[in-house]
Structures are given as C-alpha cells and as structure tokens.
Amino acid sequence: MSRLSLSIPVADFSRDGFVIERGLLDGDRVQLLIDAIDGSLNPALAPVEFEADVRYPGAPDSVLAPGGRTPRRLLNAYGRDGAFRAVARDPAIVSILHSLTGSRDVLLSQNHHNCVMTKHPGFSSVTSWHQDIRYWRFDRRELISVWIALGPETVDNGCLLVIPGSHQLEFDPGQFDAALFFREDYEPNAGLLASATPVELQAGDVLFFHSRTLHAAGRNESDVLKRSLVFTYRTADNSPIPDTRSAVYEDIPVS
C-alpha cells in the first residue's frame, strides 16, 4: 500500500527542482517490486541495457570485457510486469504529480526512463552530471521524473546527487560537453558543482525531480545490489514533438 494523506511541498519543488516523499510505499509493496525485478535479472530478460552499453566513466569497453554484461537498466518497465504498471499509476504518486504540475491530466512517457535502474557491486559506472531533458523533445521542457527507492540509497552505493535550483537556470553551450554532460573541467561550472547535494533514500521513499534539474550518481562501492524504479511524466498539454524519440511510443494516461 501507499500513503494517501499527503501534504505536498510544492513551493520546495518550485525552488529546488526536487522533493522527497519519505515512506510513500510500504514494505510489502517494496518487496513485491523487488521480486518482479529479480525475476527479470537472472537471467536478464530483454530489453536490457548493459554497463558496456552506457559508455559512462568506468564502464567496461564492451560486453565481452569483465562486467560488460552487467545489467544497468531493465527497459520498458511499464510493459514488463503488473507490479510496475500498478506503481506507475499509484494514486498517491499521481496525486503528488497533480499538485506539482498543477494539472489533473498527467501521462506517463514510455519513451524516457520507464525502467529499472540497477547498480551491481563491482561493475557499476559513474553517471556524469546532466539534465534529463537534453535528449528529450517536447513542446516545453517541463516534465517530472519519479525515482522509487527499493532499498537504501547512499553515497556509498551510488545514490543520486542533485544541484538544487538548477532547473531554473539557463546555460551557455560551452558549459556542456559533446554528449551534453555538464563539464567538471570548466571553471564557470565550479560554483554550481560545489552545491551538489546527495539524495539519500530508504526503501519506499520516492524522489520527484524536474527534467531540467542537474543530477549525477557515483559507483556502488557496497557489496549489495541497488535497485530503483524510474518513470517520467508530462501533462497532456505538453506534447512530444512528432518524429522524435520522444514520440515513438504512445504515452499512458495515469490520471
């Protein structure tokens, strides 16, 4: 079950570009999701993105290299299992999205995120600083991603790091590299990077963050697999641009 009586700090989200709802999912719900994930990990059921596929810092050079076939993302989560579909449409999560977007008409994107994020001990690469919106194409750069923690997420096991307020900023092209990652070697970025804040979570906590919020993540230095579930939502009046990756699959009404 999930909590339905919520007081949503909309002003905090508007200011910081993220907000955390602690304990939104109870232990039974978390275990149901873990069981669904583990059933897709051994063996890894397609579609899967492996560590070698992401090309992140520290990732294996190929799927033939040690750790290259370590699963990083189980794709198409919404279509994989009824447990994922149910949590993606969970009334408490949808209610929060209504508050944060100011709209009663919210859809889930099947084209972006919509995945299980895993970080395995030993072969998890770094995720460099970026905004999710960098490759997304919508009428407005106003989407919200929902990150569901299914176990402890700490700096030690590669939790997300965010830069509060970065969703409100406009950036020069030179602040990003060729892959549109925020440059750590560029002096004008140093002040923002110094404000990085770890988002430490426990099982059942849910992070809501703006598609323009700069975020990154480290390696899993622990000896325990980290599992998270991630979905992205838009309002009905913020349409994907035709003939782009954002419009390949039909979006799912959740309201």
Total residues belonging to the chain: 255
pLDDT for position 128 = 94
Q: What is the mean pLDDT of each run of 10 residues along the chain (255 residues)?
A: 68 96 97 96 90 71 70 93 97 96 97 95 87 96 98 97 98 96 97 98 98 96 96 98 97 95
**Secondary structure of the chain in HEC code, one letter for each residue:** CECCCCCCCHHHHHHHCEEEECCCECHHHHHHHHHHHHHHHCCECCCEEEHHHHCCCCCCCCCCCCCCCCEEEECCHHHHCHHHHHHHCCHHHHHHHHHHHCCCCEEECCCCCCEEEEECCCCCCCEEEECHHHHCCECCCCCEEEEEECCCECCCCCCEEECCCHHHCCCCHHHECCCCCECCCCHHHHHHHHCCEEECECCCCEEEEECCCCEEECCCCCCCCEEEEEEEEEECCCCECCCCHHHCCCCEECC
pTM, two decimals, is 0.93
pLDDT for position 124 = 79
pLDDT for position 2 = 65
197-199 vs 18-21, strand pairing mode: unpaired
pLDDT for position 227 = 97
Please give the Cα distance from 13 to 23 (Å, whole number): 18
Please give the Cα distance from 109 to 211 (Å, whole number): 13
pLDDT for position 68 = 66
Q: What domains appear along the chain, each with residue ranges and CATH number?
A: 10-253 (2.60.120.620)
pLDDT for position 6 = 63
pLDDT for position 5 = 52
